[in-house]
Amino acid sequence: MEIRPLDPSEYDAAGVLLADAFIDDPGWLAVGPNRRVRRYRLLRRFHRQALDVIDRYGRPIHGAFDGEELLGIAATFAAGRYPPPELRTTLRFLPAFVRAGPAPVVRALRFSAIQESGHPDEEHVYVWFLAVDPKHQRGGVGRALLARVYEEAGAPVYLDTSNPANVPYYASNGFEETGKVAGPRGAMMWFMKRP
């Protein structure tokens, strides 16, 4: 397995991988449309736009590859680079959510505010997305991507998750829970930091 920066020409494939990985994530079940096909369309559009935002304002975005096959992604904001400009970012994401309907827009704004409330005050590296293709999960891809993030981090590493199954996984990778908040439709958001 090779870990390397993603090229912008690979962002379309990365958007598909992210949608595949998060389609049944509790946070996206809470925010997105009820119908799976509509939620998947939202996820693909949102994550493709998010990669452009991270490319412009954050980075690095690493991919794990087996030959040419993309296995996983760690999309981050290096220390001191988060948050991106709020208005520009919202305008990038709005079309995908408007297509999904008014209820997902309201839930997304609410969950986004919760997500923002958990960021530490001190400078930190933010792992916005860590995702592994469902066909390759539980094979060490996520750990390899996190190892690259730690290797390059010049500050504590922070992430949030709405999947309770991820909390012990991240704890086994050195993250400590710093808080949790209830979100829409019964979802929870955990905030975690690795010193």
DSSP 40: H
- pLDDT tens digit string along 17-58? 999 999 999 999 999 999 999 999 999 999 999 999 999 999
Cα 166 to Cα 179: distance, rounded to the nearest angstrom: 14
User: What span, in angstroms and rounded, lies between the C-alpha atoms of 70 and 152?
Assistant: 21
Q: What is the pTM of this model?
A: 0.94
Residue 27: domain span: 2-194
pLDDT band of 183, cuts 50, 70, 90: very high
Q: How many domains does the chain contain in total? A: 1
- CATH number of the domain at 89, please: 3.40.630.30
